[in-house]
Amino acid sequence: MAQQQLFASFVLDRELDLEMALLAEDVTEAAKVSRKIQPLPSSVDFLEGVMQLREEFIPIINLKRRLGLQETSYNENAKVAVVTVLNQRLGLLFDDIKEIFKVENSAITPVHPTLQTNDKIISNLIKHNETNRALELLDLNYLFLEEQTSASIEESLKPSLNEEKQIIDRQYSHYVIFNCTGREYGVKVEHAQELSFLSDIDELYKDDHIEGALQLRGHTIPIVDASTFLNNIKVENPLSEHRRILVLMSDEILFGLLIDKARQIIAVPEDEILPMPASDNNNVIGIFQQADGKDIMLLDVDGLISSKSSQFKSIGRIRKDVDETGKSLDITHNIITENCYLVFSISKNFAIELVDIQEIIECHEILNIPAATGINDGVINLRGEIIPVVNLRRFYNFPEKSTTQSGTKLIICRLKSQIVALEVDNIVTIYKQEKFYATPSLKPQFKKVQDTLDRLIEFKDNLGIAEHVLVVNVHNLAQNHLRTKEEKK
């Protein structure tokens, strides 16, 4: 069988009907120019500037100018193909993205040396047999002119490289984001213990600030309404069944916050947190502005309950166990992750142990791997680290999600040797369940991946309806199914 190669084609100039091709393996991603390109003074003439692409600043090359075209401008619909040259990620500007296609090696014809100058950036033509058109193949090895050494190129890009290093060196904190009375708040993950449905609130402890108490595995947890606690706003029905309880801990004090919805877990760069004006108020760490312009108020949980700590302690009983020697053992640390699960849906409910989860993010842009085989056909760039993405619907042989359904979520799992992102439909809740059971016989659709479903738990929803939920063993998924055949040998 004739050897074939995979190419990505782009429209360089729509008016001239000029089409270029790149080896598909050289293209990390291709997307619309979504951010302003900032000019970079004293750079090579075909460097359009630098552009922020998620957590990274990349230099953008004006290919029209590099190839000496008369018209070198691009409109607002311009596209950028991200490639790597001289160990530097670059963006190549095009008018449009065309297609991915395969051709046999015999369809690649070299341009005769007598017809070339010293600039060999276009040294081959590709004949596209299906459409009977010719494409010029861009050779990235000759993207920069010969007189421009690797050192001089790196020097010209130095400002953007420094900018990128600053981003990589950033410090991040993880926050649970929740909604209350139309506003968004965040608390650090280390304070968040679990998310519970609203049920069995004992109103014996009710007063102006406390709605009641929740009995949770030996702990009496005071429950406060976030609307009143944070904004001094009284809502008509604070104990509505549609609300949730976010259980928080501060200095071994457990309390529950009545919220409308826990939205997601995000990583927040420390240097992007806007500080609050100087005051005696130590309830807020600062404000974080999201990419969509919405502000999240980041709460200081320790400061928030400092004035209520004695009242909360008098209600709460932080249970201690005693070992065989009679020594008191503090077990509050177990509440954080042990026996806690994140319940999510992919056509039906599944669960993952909370201890394996780093964060939960919105699923915005997955980079598809051309001609990929195996269970991970896409990756994401997570703050400078390339993470494989596993679509769990596809992995467990459920039908593809309908285009009319809302967007998906990515559960970022940090394992011993790698990080993997699991694409799911929706996050249901965080759930505490100390008992689990061996998985019974599975449906045929799970047979090939039954090693990833080695237990189940009983899960009760907010209506008290119980169901058995399969728990995904992420370690087996990564170890037995993500690895290549060569790695398994």
Label residue 138 exposed, middle or buried (CB < 10 Å: 0-12, 13-18, 19+).
buried
Q: Is the pLDDT of residue 278 over 70?
A: no
Scan for tokens 């009907």, then name that residue.
Answer: 17
Please tell me the distance from the alpha carbon of residue 139 to that of residue 121, in angstroms, as a whole number: 5
The stretch 263-273 carries a mean pLDDT of: 82
Structure tokens at 424: 């799911």
Superfamily in which the 4-168 domain is placed by CATH = CheA-289, Domain 4 (2.40.50.180)
Please tell me the distance from the alpha carbon of residue 266 to that of residue 411, in angstroms, as a whole number: 11
Please tell me the distance from the alpha carbon of residue 224 to that of residue 210, in angstroms, as a whole number: 5
Q: How confident is the model at residue 328 (pLDDT cuts 50, 70, 90)?
A: very low
Q: In the β-sheet with 466-471, what is the strand arrangement from edge to edge?
A: 426-432, 340-346, 348-353, 466-471, 455-460, 437-438
Q: What percent of the chain has pLDDT over 90?
A: 11
Please tell me the distance from the alpha carbon of residue 424 to that of residue 192, in angstroms, as a whole number: 22
Looking at residue 145, its pLDDT comes to 63
Q: Is the pLDDT of residue 132 over 80?
A: no
Q: Where are the beta strands (DSSP E) in 189-276?
A: 192-197, 210-216, 219-225, 244-250, 253-259, 261-269, 273-274
Q: pLDDT (tens digit, 9 = 90+) per residue, 37-48?
A: 888 776 778 888
Least confident interval from 48-62, 208-222, 243-257? 208-222
Class of domain 339-488: mainly beta
Q: Which residue has the higher pLDDT, 334 or 67?
A: 67
Please tell me the distance from the alpha carbon of residue 241 to that of residue 402, in angstroms, as a whole number: 29
The stretch 100-126 carries a mean pLDDT of: 80
DSSP H helices in 305-405? 309-315, 334-337, 392-395
For the chain, give every domain's residue range: 4-168, 172-335, 339-488
- Cβ(368)–Cβ(377) under 8 Å? yes
Q: pLDDT (tens digit, 9 = 90+) per residue, 51-72?
A: 877 667 788 999 999 888 888 8
CA 199 to chain centre: 32
3-state secondary structure of 220: strand
Q: Which residue has the higher pLDDT, 268 or 486?
A: 268
The stretch 358-382 carries a mean pLDDT of: 76
Looking at residue 317, its pLDDT comes to 44
Full-model pTM: 0.42
Q: Is 172-335 a CATH 1.20.1260.10 domain?
A: no
Q: pLDDT (tens digit, 9 = 90+) per residue, 148-201?
A: 544 445 555 554 444 444 444 567 888 888 988 888 999 988 888 777 777 667
Domains 4-168 and 172-335 share a fold: yes
